[in-house]
Structure 1
Amino acid sequence: MKSLIIGYGTTGQSFEKYLTENSIDFDIFDEDKTKLENKKNILACLNDKSISVYKSLYISPGVQLKKYFSNSNLAKLNYTTDLDLFFQNNKSLKIGVTGTNGKSTLVNYLNQILNIASSSIALGNIGNPLLDNIKHTNKYTVIEVSSFQLEKMKKNYFDFSIITNIQNDHIDFHGNFENYKNAKLKICSEKGRTIFCTSDDYEEIAKTFALDLEPNLDGKDIDLSNLPFRLQKISEGIINDSKSTNSASLFYALNKLNFKGDLILCGNPGKEGYKELNIEGPKRVFIYGKHRNELLNICKHKNISTHSSLEEIFEVLRKDEHKDILFSPGNPSGNDYLNFIERGEHFNNLKEKYFD
């Protein structure tokens, strides 16, 4: 009998590579059929009946199983996740990091520090697929884990786990905050230690944790590189915070900067259930993109303007002699961009075009 890959994004493609290398015959299902062009091994429709011919299911994190299967069948599904396969086949010490915000930053710092004292690799939601690196021989694996991955994880084999924070996010997927929180808390290690961060000083947290693991590490004068698009100062008075994909990260930026200038928002607010956003501090709020009317309906501020494109906003801002601009979208990209990276690069390109 064949196996079935459900979802053909980054994780689904890593499943494809893994199954091919292990001579396992499989089909692929994805709701977006454009992803499967030139593929012959396609399952057209996913439901209780159609999966009966498959011996194993390999599930991508972002797939909502309840969309396709009956409640009675959900509990009986024999599926495997990329985390499960990685736990079974890789012998490194595994450090899981999750949270609503800050997890990529902490993973980035911790991986750099552990590579000074030993050998480490950063995998998972940070953009480096687990299965593509399942044979690595480094001492540590620092894994950024999403609530989608944790929800479907069969058993927890993290040696250590770290939670940066848990705030309102992904309500459209999980249904409510309680379900989202419970998914995040599944990272709490059954075999090791769990750390709950009490501050946002992720560089210091990473150093302290790494020193516990590697006591001979010289923690002084460590120069760490930052990830792009996280409160990144790209020039005087201009901050690119494109990684802001939820309201918690938006308000964090406003508070941390005590921001009083021009705020730019965009993206799809649906994942937080279109909750109202009371924005205080900025003198002006600019909203643009295909979701601008949805955002206008939930944003409360005395000086809001909407625009079809980011270019329109730059045309307005170029007239200001003094620049004080925060690009912190506060939402996922939705129909505007492929991801926050494309979004951040677009902002940087326009900044160069209009201001440099």
Structure 2
Amino acid sequence: MIKKVVIIGLGITGLSCIKFFINKGIIPYIMDSRTNPPFIKEIPPLVKYCIGYLNKDWILNANLIVISPGISIFHPLLKNAINKGIKIIGDIELFYYFSKNPIIAITGTNGKSTVTNMIGKIINNYYSAGIGGNIGYPALELLSNFQNFYILELSSFQLETIKKFKSYISVILNISSDHMDRYPLGIEQYQKIKLNIYKNASICIYNANNSLTYPNNLQKNQRAISFGINKGKYQVYKKQKNIYLKVNNKIILNFNKTKLIGTHNYINSLAVLAISDILHIPRNISLKIISNYMLNNHTLQIVHKKNGVIWINDSKSTNINSTKAALSFLGNNKRIWLLLGGYDKNCEFHLLKKYLMNDKIHIYCFGLASKKILSLYPKAIQVQTMSDAIKNISKFLKYGDIVLLSPACSSIDQFINFKDRGEKFIELAKQNN
């Protein structure tokens, strides 16, 4: 019998956990290290809470601790609790205990939301699917409605706390350096946590071009399916000016005739088709939705065109690889005014070097990462804010130019989230005539 449940973190995930336990007849304790967490006014009157610090006594006397993704399992207080034998999980593990239908779990450094949304559209065209997790809708709230499948976008933070979690299909799209502020042991630690998604999965889908995604030590009851560029069962195949989707060496789609933008999204669609094939969804349904899929807002989103200048909002680019993908897609023939910066999570900006050495790319850097960017790219212009950068850039714009917000950083130093940053960019872009 659970006597004392402690929930750490009062964001959207923490709030969903409070509601979940109250519905089960358990009054939890809640805490948040922030002095003014976002949902403090929504705490029910019966729930005891503390804010501004983590309550050591509550933690060390709990029977169960449920942590939000923003709370690291490696926090010293939580390590003490683990050493005492106290169970610590996240909402995803809790969700698994009470879910009754198959789970499709999707992770990767980049592309998670695109793949989650795309496969969601396909499944909901044939079955029914609840979509949640890191995508912005709490997983626990999916339990209130019957669904044939649950599709969960999972971050490394959420994967830190899964133990018995079992999916029908688990996908790792790619792994590259990210969140190194959270993982001081480096990319190997980050990779190890990402690979947790394969534990207990019936089917593992991995990127044949990215060895870090390979499922290790498959069990007898598990099978693996691969995708990649010219590798794997599902392939992106380039021939002359055309780019095709091949399955088992048979061409089934010409990407040039779809609405998808960029090779990275062609690769994403391979994972999507692999999932839909496993579920026996007719190919004509899957390929139609893939062909007509439009990217989410804040991902290579053209938000303004004026006087021959194109303004592109790629605010969802919160790491190096996202910015690489954006610059690769745009090519090196246009003059690009690139906005970089924010909270860099100890990312490796030098990996952008081959993309930024182009004389046609002009870098403006802002936020906490700006000094680091400037030290690596002395030609960059350092400003305080994104607004300052755009005011400066506006003086020099010419016909044919591109203004690209693809920051390669988290937004939390100056914005609420990447959406807030993107909306601000759109507002500023539309002020330019």
Q: What is the TM-score normalised by the length of structure 2?
A: 0.75
In 1: Cα distance, 2:60 partner to 2:345 partner: 34
- What is the identity, as a one-letter code, of the residue corresponding to 2:288? D
Q: 1:3 offset after TM fit, Å?
A: 1.4
SS at match of 1:64: coil
> Which residue is 1:209 aligned to?
275
In 2: Cα distance, 1:2 partner to 1:74 partner: 15
Preserved CA contact (<8 Å) 2:159 2:197: yes
User: Alignment partner for residue 308 of structure 1, among 370, 384, 388?
Assistant: 384
Indicate whether 1:331 and 2:396 are aligned: no
- What is the identity, as a one-letter code, of the residue corresponding to 1:42? Y
In 2: Cα distance, 1:21 partner to 1:180 partner: 35
> Which residue is 1:7 aligned to?
9
Indicate whether 1:221 and 2:292 are aligned: no
In 2: Cα distance, 1:53 partner to 1:221 partner: 54
In 2: Cα distance, 1:289 partner to 1:110 partner: 35
With a CA cutoff of 8 Å and minimum separation of 6, indicate the structure with the bigger relative contact order. Answer: 1
In 1: Cα distance, 2:385 partner to 2:94 partner: 43
Q: Deviations over 1:41-100 (max 9, x none)?
A: 124653664423322211112212333327564342312321112111112210000000
In 1: Cα distance, 2:109 partner to 2:19 partner: 30
In 2: Cα distance, 1:52 partner to 1:306 partner: 46
**1:81–1:294 CA distance, 2 compared to 1 (3 A):** same
> Which residue is 2:169 aligned to?
160
Indicate whether 1:52 and 2:60 are aligned: yes
Where in structure 1 do 4 or more consecutive aligned residues deviate above 6 Å?
273-276
- What is the identity, as a one-letter code, of the residue corresponding to 1:8? L
Indicate whether 1:41 and 2:107 are aligned: no
In 1: Cα distance, 2:295 partner to 2:201 partner: 31
Preserved CA contact (<8 Å) 1:48 1:68: no
Indicate whether 1:264 and 2:331 are aligned: no
Aligned-residue Cα RMSD (Å) equals 2.3
In 1: Cα distance, 2:36 partner to 2:55 partner: 20
Preserved CA contact (<8 Å) 1:82 1:131: yes
User: Alignment partner for residue 179 of structure 2, among 161, 170, 174?
Assistant: 170
Q: Deviations over 1:75-133 (max 9, x none)?
A: 42312321112111112210000000011111110100111111112210011100112
Residue segments in structure 2 that go unaligned for 5+ positions in a row:
208-227, 230-263
- What is the identity, as a one-letter code, of the residue corresponding to 1:352? K
278-287 or 114-123, larger mean C-alpha shift = 278-287
130-139 or 206-215, larger mean C-alpha shift = 206-215
**1:52–1:261 CA distance, 2 compared to 1 (3 A):** closer
Taking every aligned residue pair, what percent have the same amino acid on both sides?
28
In 1: Cα distance, 2:78 partner to 2:171 partner: 34
User: Alignment partner for residue 77 of structure 2, among 38, 61, 69?
Assistant: 69
User: Alignment partner for residue 242 of structure 1, among 289, 305, 315?
Assistant: 315
> Which residue is 1:99 aligned to?
108
> Which residue is 1:136 aligned to?
145
Preserved CA contact (<8 Å) 2:114 2:296: yes
**1:163–1:83 CA distance, 2 compared to 1 (3 A):** same
Q: 1:268 offset after TM fit, Å?
A: 1.1
Preserved CA contact (<8 Å) 1:156 1:186: no
Preserved CA contact (<8 Å) 2:6 2:58: no
Q: What is the TM-score normalised by the length of structure 1?
A: 0.91
> Which residue is 2:357 aligned to?
280
SS at match of 2:125: helix
Aligned residues: 353
SS at match of 1:65: coil
Preserved CA contact (<8 Å) 1:90 1:136: no
- What is the identity, as a one-letter code, of the residue corresponding to 1:229? H
Residue segments in structure 1 that go unaligned for 5+ positions in a row:
none
In 2: Cα distance, 1:274 partner to 1:68 partner: 30
SS at match of 1:66: coil
Preserved CA contact (<8 Å) 1:277 1:300: no
In 2: Cα distance, 1:52 partner to 1:290 partner: 35
